[in-house]
Homo-oligomer: A and B are copies of this chain.
Amino acid sequence: MNLPPLAAIRVFEAAARHGSFTNAAEELGMTQAAVSYQIKLLEERIGASLFLRRPRQVILTEVGARLSPAISEAFDMIRAAIAATRENADGILTITTIPTFAANWLVPRLGSFQLAHPSLAVRLQATREVIDFARQDADIGIRSGGGNWPGMIAHKIFGADFTPMLSPVLAATIGGVNTPMDFLKLPIVDPSDPWWKIWFAAVGVADPELRGNPRGRFGDQHLEGKAVIAGQGVGILTPAFFETELKSGLLIQPFDIVGNDDHFYWLVYPEARRNVPKVRAFRDWLLEQLVDQ
């Protein structure tokens, strides 16, 4: 069955509720003439008069009075459902994030976001995958890369810098790390990581021969960090992820020199969602965190 235009039904609902075309127009943000026009259109499509007209007044006909309650209820249902959806959608923020970023940077700081936004529940999806926001149900994400993703807005967080770090206990076994060459005396947690070559080149050492099993891998940097803290070897890590450990002495960073391969960490979200309140709230909070550092 062909429904009449929904715009006209909606106008009818408001006019019936108000008993006035002028008041309905005001509520709907249109002119009284538009209300009059839509009612006439609906009456023609339905094949019955919905209002009797008197000067300065309209009265629902029998037909109109019978139709109105069900239409009103239906619109109440739609309004409630949409409002609940918005509230709920506004109530859960799903963040897809690189696991290391989640573990070493975000989660330790999330407390202040949640204090600032008590009504927002945060759901983390820790994955190294670069997700497609059309295909997965996330609102916003943390990625690493060049930052150029079509249809997305990307805010730079910090660079994916790297430099060697180790446990002070491990360093003491060789009388401390005084030159970059001292690293060659120690086991390397992930000697096949291309970041090592880049770093040694930055300190003027070509083709260093690193100790350790080149087949050993932890996959995620934060797991590598755990191994380094445990004294299992030297790791090449991102300083921004280990501020707490460096401050507390759990790790030491023997040299200030850091490597970079033009990779950065980014906050990203689809352009279409740039005005969604919860997305803006998180963006604003995170950018503020970066300023405070």
A53's partner among B53, B71, B135 (CB-CB below 8 A) is B135
Interface-located stretch among A78-86, A170-178, A243-251: A78-86
Interface-located stretch among A5-13, A103-111, A209-217: A5-13
CB distance from A62 to the nearest CB of B (A): 7
B7-A40 in contact (CB<8A): no
A66's partner among B47, B73, B85 (CB-CB below 8 A) is B85
Interface-located stretch among A17-25, A156-164, A181-189, A270-278: A270-278
B73-A85 in contact (CB<8A): no
User: In the complex, A66→B86 CA distance in Å?
Assistant: 12
A69 nearest in chain B by CB position: B81
User: In the complex, A6→B277 CA distance in Å?
Assistant: 22
User: In the complex, A7→B44 CA distance in Å?
Assistant: 20
Q: Which of A52, A78, A137 has the most CB of B within 10 A?
A: A78
B89-A1 in contact (CB<8A): no
User: In the complex, A26→B73 CA distance in Å?
Assistant: 28
Chain B residues with Cβ below 8 Å from A74 are 74-75, 77-78, 81
18 contacts between A and B (CB under 8 A): A1-B83, A3-B10, A3-B78, A4-B82, A6-B10, A7-B7, A43-B272, A44-B273, A46-B86, A46-B89, A47-B89, A49-B133, A52-B136, A53-B135, A63-B88, A66-B85, A70-B77, A70-B80
